[in-house]
Copies of this chain bind each other. A is one copy, B any other.
Amino acid sequence: MNIVTVRSLSDKAARFVPKSGVYPKGFSVGGIHCGVKKDGKSLDLALLRNDYEQPAVASAVFTKNKFKAAPVQVSRSIVEEKNGKNINSLIINSGNANAVTGLQGMNDAWKMVQLTDTTLKNDPKSTLVMSTGVIGNRLPITSILDGIPKLAGDLGSTHEHWIKCAQAICTTDTFPKLVSKEFVIDGKAYRLAGLAKGAGMICPNMATLLGFFVTDAPVSSSALKNVLTYATNRSFNSISVDGDMSTNDTIVAIANGAAGGKLIEDTEGDKDFLKLRDEVTSFAQQLAQLVVRDGEGATKFITLKIRNALSFEDAHKIASSIANSALFKTAMYGKDANWGRILCAIGYSDVSSEDSIIPSKVSVSFVPTDGSSKLKLLVNGEPEEVDEERASQILSAEDLVIDIDLGTTGTHESVFWTCDFSHEYVTINGDYRS
């Protein structure tokens, strides 16, 4: 078996952290160390500001966990109160989740919003707040409040500023997750930038602990909300690291319209709207996949394709059941073609009806990502004679696609991304607070 080495982790940074980017107009960002993280140097406070003359619009999706962290409660109330309008900055700390911190925690989260608003000369309640890290400890609020004006004086829009901002929201992440792209709608160029932090506690229903996208396209607040929901269901809600759903999960989208052009609205069948929705969705998938790549201790990147299901919900539940099976994930880590565990997890998934899974119709294959031919494991419920050498060859690659054809009368499908479960995962999470 293969223990993750420091070398392979920095390999990932080299492969997945961009050397440059193309960033939306009218946003400044930055990150500093303010004193939340105990090592005295890691970046732990991030800020984003809308510099454009027009106020920005924002939308957000939050964790469904009953114990919602203070920043989740505060940000949600701001988005709701302002109906997503005139929201111009984001303040984020890492190293402490400000979750289950009682009334003090709520006060601390509000202080972060208020000081950011006054420092940036915003209208009141124009800032959303996020926190990530250990649950149940009070924020070192003085360090954070001291840091905010300092950070506000240090914002910029270079690639290095974006990288710092991405670094400042990391916890156990081994590399900062930043993507950017330019896209064209109706002949006009717009830009998207996205940041995420992930690593552990990533599960199907609200995944990345924290993530945000910003664009310089002009979008109505209602259209932005619609786009965010659609994209999140097909990206951050279709990944899993360990199946836990955090108290802090938040994804925010902000649009400032700084690139000009015609306002994009969500009128039925509008081509510009559909183009934006698809651009944001593929962008969100790219960012969500980085979270899986950097799953705590992950050595494998596994794509699950569930096809010919009775419904999208069935396909999604089956994918999620496999992706969260500790036995499946440890087998992948051990490069063991133990496909029985895949079937086992299919078999106990919480599908809607007796016809959702008919064992004698199910087929499973490993699909290598190097273009070589696929390996059939099960065809219509009957096991194939598996060439173990070929299986172990396929499993020695980092990437793997597992194709599951349910063979029902339906034609729905779900694509889901997950990683393996390693010794390193146990080490990281057995020792997280110390």
Q: Which residues of A contact B (CB under 8 A)?
A: 1, 64-68, 97, 99-103, 134-138, 200-201, 203, 205, 242-247, 324-327, 330-331, 333-334, 336, 338-341, 343-348, 357, 359, 377-378, 381-383, 421-423, 425-434
Contacts and interface: CB of A to CB of B under 8 A. Distances in A.
A429 B344 CA distance: 15
A317 B420 CA distance: 26
A377 B401 CA distance: 44
Given A100-B343, A203-B348, A331-B432, 17 more contacts: A1-B430, A64-B348, A66-B347, A66-B357, A67-B347, A67-B359, A102-B381, A135-B340, A135-B341, A135-B343, A136-B378, A137-B383, A243-B324, A326-B429, A331-B429, A334-B429, A334-B431
A431 B344 contact: no
A289 to B, nearest CB: 21
Nearest to A386: B136
B378 A327 contact: no
Given A135-B341, A357-B66, A348 B245 contact: yes
B427 A247 contact: no
Contacts of A325: 243-244
A430 B333 contact: yes
Contacts of A381: 100, 102
Given A136-B340, A348-B66, A334 B430 contact: yes
The A interface is mostly helix, strand or loop, or mixed, namely loop
Contact of A426 (B138, B357, B423): B423
A65 to B, nearest CB: 4
Contact of A97 (B64, B65, B99, B340): B340
16 contacts: A67-B346, A99-B340, A134-B340, A135-B338, A135-B340, A135-B341, A243-B325, A243-B326, A244-B341, A244-B348, A330-B429, A331-B432, A333-B426, A334-B430, A336-B431, A423-B427
Contacts of A343: 67, 100, 135-136, 247
Most chain B beta-carbon contacts within 10 A, residue among A103, A326, A382: A326
B339 A1 contact: no
